[in-house]
Amino acid sequence: MPERFLNYIGGEWTAPSTNDYFENRNPADREDVIGRFPRSGAADVERAVQSARRGFAAWSRTPAPLRGQVLQRVGELLVQKKEEIARAMTREMGKVLPETRGDVQEGIDTAFYAATEGRRLFGRVVPSELRSKWAMSFRRPIGVAGLITPFNFPLAIPTWKTFPALLCGNAVILKPAEDVPHTVHLLVEVLLEAGLPPEVIQLVHGQGSILGRALVEHPDVPVISFTGSTETGSIIGATCGRMHKRLSLEMGGKNAMIVLDDADLDLALDGVLWGAFGTTGQRCTATSRLIVQEKVHDRFLRMVCDRAATLRLGPGLDPTTEVGPLIHAAARDKVAEYVGIAKGEGASVAIGGAVPSDPRLAHGWFYQPTVFAGVTPGMRVEQEEIFGPALSVIRVKDLDEAIRVNNGVPYGLSSALYTRDVNAAFRAMTDLDNGITYVNAPTIGAEAHLPFGGVKQTGNGHREGGWEVYDFYSETKVVYVDYSGTLQRAQIDTYDK
């Protein structure tokens, strides 16, 4: 009988009100059941909110440096448990072990950054325009934050949201993706072991359309942070707009790597393989378009196909594996569907385009690394997020056209440019319409201490990571202190004295 996991609500591990559970299975071997997790209902959200409100009352009054000390211990515990958590994550999510170790490391970096922020969390003191008057701002906690996370970074993304939310003095309700509940269970155990007061964190498992929705619609959850598909983000955005909630959205991408004629092609080759097929293409920053200048196009396409065809598929816990499975059957079906769409639109399938025939892979959601050649701007495989190991290759004349193609999609997360020309690099840095641009590095590789996010339909203007996320999780309060003993009127008594 597989292990049964519980929600964490009201300071204890607790069964869902529905008494209903779902199975969490290994995507590399669907016979392997990791555990049964609660399929919770709206009543569980209600209990979680009431508990979080109690947690908030005390935590919001705990000095920020002390809150930072808890996050320091969280970071230290994650260091100790890095290997254990990485292995659990690979088992439920599928990506290879070096990548899940990196995922935990991102959580560690985020914890240590948050810990130091406890002694900053700066406000400002600025000169008043009037005499004998001070003008200043400081940060206040907001309340209960509802955090909804996707499957592809099972630890890192929950930490990007949870740690700054906690550091700023908020209480948290975490709703992880249904495909990766175990990793977040382990994270909550770490938070509690580190000494976080119990009612400051709540963990509720279940379906997005029921549980996620109940969280977003709850009037006592003023802050929502969501990472996931643009489709789901639009639904959440509509609710939060109507209810005037503070909302951070991190959504889909259609990221491009541009390779100019003068690029170091061997370097670009390593970059595109890692960008397109790392995490089996299931990164928000995955390289899903390769835009190549015409002189090197044919040669570089051959180089990419030759290498991509040799990538070793297998379970992520096997050290020889380079590409793991997709997360579930629907994700694999979606890639297969786009192979049909690409052919129908007149692109060719240069390599891949099928489920691998190797019987050792038959129990997992594997798909061959796939390269579409002859893709032109406007094709669906050029415009739409596939979220799998599929790369669309587009030929362009020059940098101007490359920038136009890069910018001609509804998304704007990351982009990459390979060139040795410094002028081209600076042009691209300025004109590529993305939240992040890499020069001579692939579209993936964000560091925890810099702001992360995208433009257009990728986001709604907020950023995760770095210093900017602390603005999202705190309210700015402004205070004026007038010690002149007289009525001084702003804008009126200013210049004539």
Interface residues with ligand NAD (CB under 6 A) are 148-152, 175, 177-178, 208-209, 212-213, 216, 227-229, 232, 235-236, 250-253, 284, 385, 387, 413, 454, 458
Nearest CA-CA partner of 276 in 308, 246, 244 = 308
> Looking at residue 313, what DSSP letter applies?
B
Residue closer to ligand NAD by CB (options 338, 387) is 387
CB of 326 to ligand NAD, least distance (A): 11
Residue closer to ligand NAD by CB (options 425, 446) is 446
Nearest CA-CA partner of 434 in 253, 269, 210 = 253
Is 250 one of the annotated active-site residues of the chain? yes
CB of 225 to ligand NAD, least distance (A): 11
Beta-strand runs (E) in 89-148: 124-127, 133-140, 144-148
CB of 468 to ligand NAD, least distance (A): 13
Residue 127, CA distances (Å) to 124, 132, 489 in order = 10, 10, 16
Distance CA(150)–CA(148), nearest Å, equals 7
Residue closer to ligand NAD by CB (options 148, 296) is 148
Distance CA(142)–CA(169), nearest Å, equals 8
CB of 384 to ligand NAD, least distance (A): 11
CB of 195 to ligand NAD, least distance (A): 27
**Is the CB of residue 396 less than 8 Å from the CB of residue 293?**
yes
Residue closer to ligand NAD by CB (options 273, 284) is 284
* 43 Cβ contact list (under 8 Å, min separation 6): 17, 18
Distance CA(235)–CA(71), nearest Å, equals 32
Following CA atoms 101, 8, 150, 436 in sequence, which dihedral angle do they give, to the nearest 10 degrees? -70
Catalytic residue among 92, 284, 305, 464: 284
Is 240 one of the annotated active-site residues of the chain? no
Q: Which residues pair with 234 in a beta bridge?
A: none
Residue closer to ligand NAD by CB (options 25, 213) is 213
Active site residues: 250, 284
